[in-house]
Amino acid sequence: MKYLFTIGLLATGSLSLLAQSKAKPKPTTVKKPAVAPAPAAASSLKTLTDSASYAIGVNIAQSMKKDLGDINTNIMMGAMKATFEGKKPLLDDDILMNVIMAYSEKAKEAEAKITIDAGRAFLARNKTQPGVTTTASGLQYIVLKEGTGEKPGPTDTAICNYRGSLLDSTEFDNSYDRGEPLTIPVSGVIKGWTEGLQLMSKGAKYKFFIPYELGYGLRGAPPTIPGGSVLVFELELVDVKK
């Protein structure tokens, strides 16, 4: 997890007023501008290091409050203090990383819940439609045109044209518009494509409905594909390179 902390430091200079003397100057009274008293909380910030430490703390807290939701701040602060003091963590490095990843995935799933629920509802309806086949993995497809050539294997390279969209018909990619097909290793794409391509014969055109688990997962592909999205692809297998 990565945060960018920016501290703005304001440097002030002193302004000297030079008075030119005149013959028998008349005495004048200059009122000093009123200076607002410093907030009591800021009285402990006696050095630049103190101020920077405070600023970083605020920045970290604001970022974590926004991104981590229901984190237990008491435990977190205790862990940070113990770490700064050089104490041994309660969890080893591997477990720490696994816990962070699991918590992150849970947070992403909660954030994408509306998209995930809509996708699952669509797939449940779609699998009952005429012509739709559902595989064991949950991949759904319709045969638009059968091919007559060979099928690619997992170690082969596929040459294909495609049109990709979301369930609301928002198109996020289109090889036809680029004027040339995509050449890609069968095992070098999202899981839904890897499985789908091996169902097709050369010259075939299928329409795939890919669950998020076989697509871009909970992370999505920002900014065009939200996390948890079902992907709809019209995929045409132009050729196969063994």
Same domain, 214 and 134: yes
Same domain, 118 and 229: yes
Query: 56 versus 38: which is more confidently predicted?
Result: 56
What pLDDT, in 10s, does the model give residues 139-172? 999 999 999 989 999 999 999 999 999 999 999 9
Rounded to the nearest 5°, which phi and psi values hold at 151? -95, 145
In a domain, 166, yes or no: yes
**What pLDDT score does 14 carry?**
34
Same domain, 69 and 156: no
Same domain, 105 and 176: no
Same domain, 186 and 228: yes
What pLDDT, in 10s, does the model give residues 176-190? 999 999 999 999 999
In a domain, 207, yes or no: yes
How many domains does the chain divide into? 2
191: exposed, middle or buried (C-beta count within 10 Å: 0-12, 13-18, 19+)?
Answer: middle
Same domain, 82 and 198: no
Q: What is the pTM of this model?
A: 0.65
What pLDDT, in 10s, does the model give residues 56-97? 989 888 877 766 667 888 898 899 899 999 999 999 999 999
Same domain, 126 and 237: yes
Could you tell me which residues come within 8 angstroms of residue 152 by beta carbon, excluding any fewer than 6 positions away? 158, 186, 197, 198, 200, 237, 240
**What pLDDT score does 42 carry?**
64
Domain C-terminal end among 91, 111, 131: 111
In a domain, 3, yes or no: no
**What pLDDT score does 71 carry?**
80
pLDDT band at 5 (very low <50, low <70, confident <90, very high): very low
In a domain, 155, yes or no: yes
Range of the domain at 90: 46-111
In a domain, 32, yes or no: no
> Mean pLDDT in the chain?
84
Same domain, 98 and 175: no
Domain C-terminal end among 79, 111, 143: 111
Same domain, 90 and 118: no
What is the CATH classification number for the domain harbouring 214?
3.10.50.40
Percent helix, strand, coil in the chain, to 5, is 35, 20, 45
Domain C-terminal end among 87, 111, 135: 111
Peptide bond into 223 cis (omega under 30): yes
